[in-house]
Amino acid sequence: EMPFRQGLDAGQCPLCVRFFDDAVREVGSHVLVVSDGATLQDVLTEAAAQLRPEWGIGKQLRALEVVDGRLHKVYRPDTPVRSLLCFGKANIFYHCLRVEADERLPEGHRLQEVYHCDRQSQQAFGQPA
């Protein structure tokens, strides 16, 4: 049974958000239904309401999309939901958003992607750190 109504109203978009802690462990997930005219800020606001204290994730959140084990993009809050790669995909549990704490970096610092790959094929897998 799906965690949302079958036959969603036109203009609604189901999204699966997966919550990750600082150690890049998935600590929870939730299915949200937002308007297809919504922005990522609307998704993050709804996601913040689902946070649990034991997860240790702050209220300041950011959303990322991971595709084939590699970080696709860190999205700005004003990004329209329609522009997400996971928008409109049938399997929302595979094509989902990664939500984590948004720690502001000091001036001059950058995020570095660290990913896992198979030694033989060099195929990326898992969640990048």
Tokens 């570095």 belong to: 112
Give the CATH number for residue 107: 3.10.20.90
Whether this model's pTM surpasses 0.85: no
In a domain, 55, yes or no: yes
- Copy the structure tokens of residue 120: 């033989």
In a domain, 4, yes or no: no
In a domain, 91, yes or no: yes
pLDDT in tens, the chain (129 residues): 555 555 556 788 899 999 998 888 889 999 999 998 999 999 999 999 999 999 989 888 999 888 766 678 888 999 999 999 888 888 888 888 989 988 776 778 776 666 667 778 777 656 665
In a domain, 1, yes or no: no
Provide the domain limits for residue 82.
Answer: 12-125
**Strand-pair partners of 18:** 29, 98
- Are 15 and 81 in contact by the 8 Å Cβ rule? The answer is yes
> Number of structural domains, the chain?
1
In a domain, 75, yes or no: yes
